Structure 1
Amino acid sequence: MRALLEGNRVSRISVRGFAVASATAVTTVGAVVGVASGDPQQHTSNDFEATAGDATLLADIPSGQQAQVQTASLTQQADAQATAADTAAKKSAEETARKQAAESAKAKQKAAEQAEAKAKAEKKAKEQAKKDAEKRESSTVSRSSTRDAGDFPVQSSYSIAEVQAMARQIVPADQFQCFSNIVNHESTWNYTATNPSSGSYGLVQALPASKMASAGADWRTNPATQIKWGLGYMNDRYQSPCGAWSFWQANHYY
């Protein structure tokens, strides 16, 4: 019977834990002393009675079994601590994974933006290279005139039809209309036209007029010399007569 009772006591103490049992035992000792001295408050406490009962059970446990109770209590504490540690570790791992996922997403977005910017830059560079090649080709064509100014006989005067015929033989065919448009607006094909306010002169209204001397000393009287100089000016400044005409249309000068 006593063995059964002791087994039950061990079970109860192990559930509550050794720490609680020890505290209860200390409380019980104090309570017993209080009763012996006639302290009514200690004697009437319900908590005291329950605690005293638990402490009595601990006292009744043989010393060998008390060690088992202590071990069980420590095991429970260790299990609780391990569970708490596992929970904290899991939470930390989840937070780390979340941060890594966010950083990875940012890195991918940045890489995509850089790739897009690079593609745009390459496309723009190709388009610019194509335009530059077209300009060079156009400039080359414009410079390859069929005849030079010196190929035409010098006359004392020239009609508009004669001047235009000379221009058709000097200016490349695909650039002639643009050249003609500019000359028509600047001088109406009058190779002696003079602007009284600025001093610009000739078919293309060179300013100062003396610049045309680079094409020939007879620039005042020879329309072929003026055509040669005008064509060179348009090629150098606007890549071609059509380039000059585009600028003229936007600004009304060139």
Structure 2
Amino acid sequence: MSRISVRGFAVASATAVTAVGSVVGVASGSTAQNNDAEAAATDLTLLADIPAGQQAQVQTASLTQQADVQAIAADASAKKEAEEAARKAAAKSAIEKKEAAEAAEKAAQEAKEREEAEELASRSATRDASSFTVQSSYSIAEIQSMARAMVPGDQWTCFSNIVDHESSWNYQAVNPSSGAYGLFQALPGSKMSSVGSDWQTNPATQIKWGLNYMNERYGSPCGAWDFWQANHWY
């Protein structure tokens, strides 16, 4: 091979590298890509100094390198797109979870507020013992009507069950063995005087005492009824 042809081959090889560099610049968005492309176009004229067989080898090598560069650029682009899609999916999932948690918290708060409002309404509707007219005697129906007006609606069944078992709604019932007295068989009966001196003759006073007792000792009439069922006393 002559010096000229060797020189030509070297220049052509450099030209091929320059062309490949231009492709790399295009794939990576280099700002110098136009200059590289112009330089590559100029240098390609030097291929004329190389024999035809060697030109083919140089061109083949150049095209192979260009294909490799394009494949690398395509892989990088695909990877970038996949990472971006994964980021967007993760962000969307996080937003959906946050919204679901906020909705659940809001629903729980609303349910709590409704429950508190219902309980308040139930308690505000009850009457005090002093609001009933005093009578010389009372029927069971009258006593139960008084109790319904004083006991919260959600506690009525439990309250009624206890009175049914203790005195059958007889406000003057006396236990012959122990002396327990009244609707709730208080022992001694005089302890009901804490809410009214007419505890012996006024069912409303007894109801007030019995309701206070159940709330203070068991939390509610239903708490007292649960205990009664397990022990047959309260």
Instruction: Show CA shifts across 1:116-162 (max 9, x none).
Output: 222122112212211211111011112366834xx425x6xx5xx54
SS at match of 2:183: coil
Alignment of 1:181-220 (within 5 A): 181-191=161-171, 192-194=173-175, 201-206=181-186, 212-220=192-200
Distance 1:90 1:195, change over 3 A: farther
Aligned identity (percent) is 33
Query: Does the CA-based 8 Å contact 1:146-1:172 persist in structure 2?
Result: no
Aligned residue number for residue 121 of structure 2: 137
Distance 1:110 1:98, change over 3 A: same
| TM-score, with length taken from structure 2 | 0.57
Q: Does 2:54 match 1:84?
A: no
Give the CA deviation at 1:233. Answer: 5.0
SS at match of 1:248: helix
Query: Does the CA-based 8 Å contact 2:161-2:225 persist in structure 1?
Result: no
SS at match of 1:227: helix
Instruction: Name the amino acid aligned to 2:229.
Output: H
Give the CA deviation at 1:101. Answer: 1.3
| TM-score, with length taken from structure 1 | 0.53
Aligned residue number for residue 24 of structure 1: none
- The one of 155, 158, 168 equivalent to 2:145 is 168
Give the CA deviation at 1:194. Answer: 4.4
* Higher radius of gyration, 1 or 2: 1
Q: How many residues align?
A: 181
Query: Does the CA-based 8 Å contact 1:146-1:169 persist in structure 2?
Result: no
Aligned residue number for residue 9 of structure 2: 69
SS at match of 2:182: coil
Instruction: Show CA shifts across 1:193-234 (max 9, x none).
Output: 44969x965313457866533212343554342123234556
Query: Does the CA-based 8 Å contact 1:164-1:189 persist in structure 2?
Result: no
CA–CA separation in structure 1 for the residues paired with 2:183 and 2:161 = 11
Aligned residue number for residue 229 of structure 2: 252
Q: Does 2:93 match 1:103?
A: no
CA RMSD in angstroms, aligned pairs only: 4.1
CA–CA separation in structure 2 for the residues paired with 1:124 and 1:195 = 52
Distance 1:75 1:206, change over 3 A: farther
